[in-house]
C-alpha cells in the first residue's frame, strides 16, 4: 500500500466541492490510512515496550493519550501476534484496529485452552475481516465462539462470575471520580435493566435544566444521576426485569426450531438463558399484532402492547444503519404528536436518543410507507431508504 499516495490524494481533495464519486474514493482511502495507522501504532507500542519496559504508558505519553488508550494499543499487539494473518492485513490498510479489538474480545470469551483453536480459526477468516465492517466481522466471530463454548454455558458463566471486577480512581486531569466495572452476562442484564428503570422513573416527565444538549451526553448524565440514586438507596421499587422475547416461526435454526430473539447485547447459551428467564418477567410476543393498537389522541406514550409489537418488528433502532438495541429506544411519532399525530402503531417507530435528536433538532425528515419502508430525507435533500423490516407487522 502506497500510504503517501493515499495521503496526497486526501490532501488534494476539497470535500466541499468534490463530486460523490470522489468523496466515496476519499472515504475509502481515509479508512485505509486509519487502518494503516492502527498497525503503525502497534509497532510503536512494541518499540516502546522494548525500550522502556512499559509500552502502554510510554506510547500514551508520547501520543498525548490516556493510559487506557495506550493499553489498548499494546493489547492489539498481543492479539496480532497470536493471529499473524490479521496483522498483515492491518499493515496493508485492509483491516482496522476495530477488527482487532473484536478478535481480542472473542479470545477473552473462550477458555485459555480454547484460545489457540479460536486463533487458528481467525487466521482463516482474514477474507471476512477485509470485506466486512468491524461490527459484522464480530458477529462472525461470535458464531465461532459459541461453537467452542460448552453446550449449557454453565462452566463459562462461572468463569465470568469469577472475572467480575469493579474499580474506582480519581482523574488527575479533571478531578472527577471514575468507576469501571465488568460483570458476567447474567448480572449485567439485571444491573442494566435496573439502571434503565431508574432513569425512566426519575426523568420520564421532566429532565434537569442543566442536562447537556448533546443527546448522548444527556443520556450518560441522566444515567449517572440514576446510579447515584440507587447507591443512596433512593431508587424505586425493585421488580423483576422485563424481557420481551420474539419467537419467529418464519426463521428456523439449524435444528429446525423457531428462532428466539432475546434483545441482549451478548449471546448467552441455553443454560444461562434459563437462569435469566427465571429471574425476569418474560413476555413472548407474536409477529402478527393484535387489532387494538391504535390509541389515537387518547394518550401520548406508546402502550406496553405497542412497544411489544415494535420490538417484534425491530430488533434495533429503526433508522438505517443504526444498531442501537431496541431496549435503548423510545417510540417516536412519525407524524409528530405536537402537530396532531396519533399514537397508532402505523405512526410509531423505535428511535434511539441520537436519532431522535436528528429528527427533532437536526431537520431529518421521516416518511413511513404502509409496508413500513422508511424514507429518510437528510437536511441537504438527500433521501435514504430502508426496505420493510424482515419481521413485518
Residue 24 pLDDT:
92
What is the spatial distance between Cα 112 and Cα 156, in angstroms, rounded to a whole number? 11
DSSP string, 8-43: HHHHH--TTT--HHHHHHHHHHHHHHHHHHHHHHHH
Q: Residue 153's pLDDT band (boundaries 50, 70, 90)? A: low
Q: Please determine, for residue 199, whether its predicted confidence score (pLDDT) is greater than 80.
A: yes
Which three cell numbers, joined as nine digits, stand for 360?
A: 427533532
Q: Please determine, for residue 101, whether its predicted confidence score (pLDDT) is greater than 90.
A: yes
What is the spatial distance between Cα 333 and Cα 340, in angstroms, rounded to a whole number? 10
Residue 152 pLDDT:
47
Residue 385 pLDDT:
86
Residue 291 pLDDT:
47
What is the spatial distance between Cα 12 and Cα 16, in angstroms, rounded to a whole number? 12
Query: Which H or E run contains 364?
Result: none
Q: Please determine, for residue 146, whether its predicted confidence score (pLDDT) is greater than 50.
A: yes
Average pLDDT over residues 87-95: 92
Amino acid at each position: 500500500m502506497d500510504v503517501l499516495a493515499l495521503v496526497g490524494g486526501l490532501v488534494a481533495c476539497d470535500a466541499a466541492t468534490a463530486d460523490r464519486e470522489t468523496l466515496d474514493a476519499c472515504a475509502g482511502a481515509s479508512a485505509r490510512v486509519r487502518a494503516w495507522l492502527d498497525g503503525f501504532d502497534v509497532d510503536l507500542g512494541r518499540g516502546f515496550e522494548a525500550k522502556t519496559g512499559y509500552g502502554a504508558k510510554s506510547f500514551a505519553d508520547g501520543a498525548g493519550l490516556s493510559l487506557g488508550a495506550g493499553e489498548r494499543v499494546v493489547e492489539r499487539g498481543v492479539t496480532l501476534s497470536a493471529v499473524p494473518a490479521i496483522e498483515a492485513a492491518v499493515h496493508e490498510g485492509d483491516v482496522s484496529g476495530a477488527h482487532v479489538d473484536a478478535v481480542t474480545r472473542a479470545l477473552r470469551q473462550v477458555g485459555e485452552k480454547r484460545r489457540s483453536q479460536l486463533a487458528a480459526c481467525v487466521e482463516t477468516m482474514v477474507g471476512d475481516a477485509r470485506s466486512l465492517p468491524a461490527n459484522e466481522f464480530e458477529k462472525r466471530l461470535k458464531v465461532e465462539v459459541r461453537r467452542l463454548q460448552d453446550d449449557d454455558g454453565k462452566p463459562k458463566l462461572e468463569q465470568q462470575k469469577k472475572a467480575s471486577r469493579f474499580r474506582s480512581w480519581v482523574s488527575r486531569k479533571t478531578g472527577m471520580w471514575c468507576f469501571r466495572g465488568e460483570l458476567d452476562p447474567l448480572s449485567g442484564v439485571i444491573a442494566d435493566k435496573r439502571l434503565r428503570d431508574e432513569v425512566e422513573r426519575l426523568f420520564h416527565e421532566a429532565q434537569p435544566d442543566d442536562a447537556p444538549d448533546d443527546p448522548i451526553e444527556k443520556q450518560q448524565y441522566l444515567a449517572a444521576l440514576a446510579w447515584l440514586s440507587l447507591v443512596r438507596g433512593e431508587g424505586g421499587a425493585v421488580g423483576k426485569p422485563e424481557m420481551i422475547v420474539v419467537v419467529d416461526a418464519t426463521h428456523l435454526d439449524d435444528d429446525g426450531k423457531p428462532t428466539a430473539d432475546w434483545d441482549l447485547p451478548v449471546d448467552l447459551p441455553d443454560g444461562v438463558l434459563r437462569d435469566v428467564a427465571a429471574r425476569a418477567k418474560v413476555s413472548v410476543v407474536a409477529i402478527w399484532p393484535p387489532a387494538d393498537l391504535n390509541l389515537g389522541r387518547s394518550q401520548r406514550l406508546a402502550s406496553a402492547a405497542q412497544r411489544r409489537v415494535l420490538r417484534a418488528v425491530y430488533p434495533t433502532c429503526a433508522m438505517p444503519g443504526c444498531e442501537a438495541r431496541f431496549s435503548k429506544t423510545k417510540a417516536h411519532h412519525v407524524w409528530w404528536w405536537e402537530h396532531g399525530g396519533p399514537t397508532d402503531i402505523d405512526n410509531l417507530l423505535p428511535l434511539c436518543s441520537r436519532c431522535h435528536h436528528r429528527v427533532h433538532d437536526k431537520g431529518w425528515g421521516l416518511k413511513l410507507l404502509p409496508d413500513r419502508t422508511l424514507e429518510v430525507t437528510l437536511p441537504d435533500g438527500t433521501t435514504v431508504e430502508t426496505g420493510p423490516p424482515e419481521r413485518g407487522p
